[in-house]
A and B are shown apart, each in its own frame.
Chain A
């Protein structure tokens, strides 16, 4: 008889401390920051006046990706000053997502609420700060009384706008990233467990043959997670760009 015991979520998400206060998720986050720093350190050390190659080419590709695919559609040319922030955000989130599909590590750091929450709060602080800097208290005024809306609708639209801008935006930003990565992680765990249960623990040739199916699915999901990891980093970054852009120029 087969018995599939799905481990409790904490077992697949929480890790023992490597040393006090430092666990696997923290390790991944630090490694992500370190890898990003190293890539850009090497890139910045290479001679920029020649045609870029190797790591420098890769780094410049990233910069151009952020400028052309994220800033230009979301903020326009005036948002170019935000390139370093958005670039860092994108690289950090992507490198935190990536371990979720790397064998042996198999843990996206963003599948824990801590990092998405921190980043969402940071983004919230940044775009509220930009709004206050560019529009003063009119930033909140625009929220209560959005331009282009009939005055009779203010009591209806105002609260929704305030809620949407100040609560739902950071919340959905954090939850989107976190839940996507957690769901992907749980899917991978599920198919790994099924594969293990059927192929390794299966006491019957039929089970062992059937075990190929979850294994194929595991590979498929891994490929899918590559896409999701990239897409979530991209979406988090472009939404940040959209929020900052709308704070700086409310008419857009």
Chain B
């Protein structure tokens, strides 16, 4: 048997309830302790069939709702309204004027601190960056200077080498010229020797062949031939 005990509004309930009590034999009762679903002497309880939760009938008798089932469960109770509202308002006032501002102040201070830290870090980073650029600029000038010096040195070196080279070249060429002149002179001497010898031989051969000394003309022709033959 599944019995759901129900209750209605304020007054006039007894009638329907009694009826139900009469109709359904073991009337569900809530004035008994929970879990104790004894079904005895309901005739005695028929008058005191309170559904309001009281452990004992003395409690029920002392209650404002001695033998009714109590007000609708939906209606607010004045004492709960007062206590609940009072507690909330007290909490609200405390929070609004003391606790929250204090907490907020701490939070804001910390946030400001963190913000400060951020800003300081930013400034430090900017300073470091400026220093780095400065250093880099200095480095660049130094490097340029060094490069300049190296270039100058290289230029000097190159000039010196060129001069030296030219000198050596001149020396070499002069020596070669001298050697060549010497060689030419020697060859010319040799040539003239050979030529005179050849001319002599030719004149002697001619003399022997024709019996007289060749003329100047013949000698010149021989010398020409010699010149051209020996040269080639």
Contacts and interface: CB of A to CB of B under 8 A. Distances in A.
**Chains A and B touch each other in the complex, with CB atoms below 8 Å apart:** yes
Interface of A: 1-11, 13-17, 21-23, 25-26, 29-30, 32-34, 36-37, 40-41, 43-44, 46-52, 56, 59-60, 63, 83-85, 87-88, 91-92, 96, 109, 112-115, 117-119, 122, 178, 182, 196, 201
Nearest to A112: B80
A162 B187 CA distance: 140
B96 A84 contact: yes
Contacts of B74: 113, 178
Interface in B75-125: 75-85, 87-88, 90-92, 94-96, 98-100, 102-107, 109-110, 113
Nearest to A175: B74
A51 to B, nearest CB: 8
B110 A88 contact: no
Contacts of A25: 77, 80, 83-84
B51 to A, nearest CB: 4
A114 B103 contact: no
Contacts of B82: 21, 26
Q: Is the interface of A mostly helix, strand, loop or mixed?
A: helix
A88 B7 contact: no
B1 A83 contact: no
B35 interface: yes
A173 B69 CA distance: 28
A63 B70 CA distance: 41
Contacts of A85: 92, 96
Interface stretch (B52-60, B176-184, B192-200, B221-229): B52-60
Given A9-B73, A10-B73, A14-B70, A29 B87 contact: yes
B53 A63 contact: no
**Interface-centre pick from B30, B76, B77, B80 (highest chain A CB count, 10 A):** B80
B46 to A, nearest CB: 17
Given A10-B52, A16-B54, A84-B100, A4 B3 contact: yes
A114 B84 contact: yes
A10 B69 CA distance: 8
